[in-house]
Amino acid sequence: MLSLNWDFAVVGRPETQAQLAQGRSLAKARRVALPRAEAFAAVAGDDPRPLLVMRECGWCEGSDDALLSSRFENEKTILLTQWFHTIKLPNHVLEDDHPLRQLFGDEAPPHLFMATRDGELVVGLDGQQSQSELWDAMDDVLAEVYPGSAKKTVKAAYKLLDQLDRFDEDEERLRERLDSEVEKKGPGSSRFKKLKRQLDETMMDRDRIKDQLLGLLSGPSSELGD
């Protein structure tokens, strides 16, 4: 349920894309860096969420190392990303003529940043940040754009995740007891039927909690668009 879902931004002129779709050959158009506001609009697209943008470098290409910790659990980080439009860009985005060059500013370009869709608020990080520094940056941007309390929503989501973990443990335990009962007395025993009812109830309760969690994770998109 919790996963990083990266967009890989591709910027091109609409008329050029249309001509290519029709199979027409074109001379290579001169690449030009977009003005900063246009660059942010290009990557934001129709997604109402704030931005989390990460550029790859030589050592982290193909990985999420600049965002995720190699030493600690990343569940909270991945949970927080559900409230962001996550975008991954290649390292050559820093070339002067790349259309999205202005996303990263002129001095000491960050490895990743969180920002409002219009780029008015940008919090940059170098990829070596601690988890607390990362979470603070994410919280700062969410507090700017999220109409409710993002921290309260994340806390509620954590509680639901804990409940799902407990239901998973209960399911595993009940299935083991069911297997044992089948071996001893078969599926017709009263104990087997009782355990089966408990398993069914556990799975129904888990589905209910799962629906609540999915509602929390999908809610920010619609609310941020209001």
Q: Quick check: is 83 in a domain?
A: yes
Are 53 and 104 found together in one domain? Answer: yes
Same domain, 128 and 20: yes
Q: What is the CATH number of the domain that holds 118?
A: 3.40.30
Q: Quick check: is 1 in a domain?
A: no
Please tell me the predicted confidence (pLDDT) of residue 190. 93
User: Any idea of the CA torsion for 45, 47, 49, 55, to the nearest 10 degrees?
Assistant: -50
Residues 39 and 133 in one domain: yes
Condensed to tens digits (0 to 9), the pLDDT of residues 105-116 reads 877 889 999 999
pLDDT at residue 41 in the model: 94
Q: Is the pLDDT of residue 226 over 50?
A: no
In a domain, 2, yes or no: no
Judge whether 213 lies within some domain: yes
- pLDDT for the residue numbered 20: 37
Whether residue 195 sits in one domain with residue 113 = no
Using a CB cutoff of 8 Å and minimum separation of 24, what contacts does 213-221 make?
A: 213/1, 213/157, 213/160, 213/161, 213/164, 214/1, 216/153, 216/156, 216/157, 216/160, 217/1, 217/82, 217/157, 219/153, 220/49, 220/82, 220/83, 220/146, 220/150, 220/153, 221/47, 221/48, 221/49
Instruction: Give the pLDDT confidence of 74-96 residue by residue, as tens digits.
Output: 888 888 898 899 999 998 999 99
Q: Is residue 215 part of a domain?
A: yes
pLDDT at residue 3, rounded to an integer: 79
Range of the domain at 26: 7-145
Q: In terms of domains, do 166 and 203 share one? A: yes
Q: Is 190 exposed, middle or buried (0-12, 13-18, 19+ CB in 10 A)?
A: exposed
Number of domains within the chain? 2
pLDDT given for residue 37 in this prediction: 94
Within-domain flag for 172: yes
104-to-36, 44, 109, 128, 213 alpha-carbon distances in Å:
9, 15, 5, 17, 34
Q: Do 133 and 118 share a domain, yes or no?
A: yes
Residue 109 lies in a domain: yes
Of 130, 145, 160, which residue sits at a domain end? 145
Output the CA angle 52-140-82, nearest 5 degrees. 40
Domain final position from 145, 166, 195: 145
Residues 101 and 14 reside in one and the same domain: yes
Same-domain pairing of 36 and 51: yes
Same domain? 49 vs 138: yes
Which range of 3-17, 20-34, 56-70 scores highest in mean pLDDT? It is 56-70
Rounded CA-CA distance 150/83 in Å is: 9
Identify the residue with better confidence: 16 or 116.
116
**114 and 58 in one domain?**
yes
37 and 137 inside one domain = yes
Of 88, 123, 145, which residue sits at a domain end? 145
13 and 114: one domain? Answer: yes
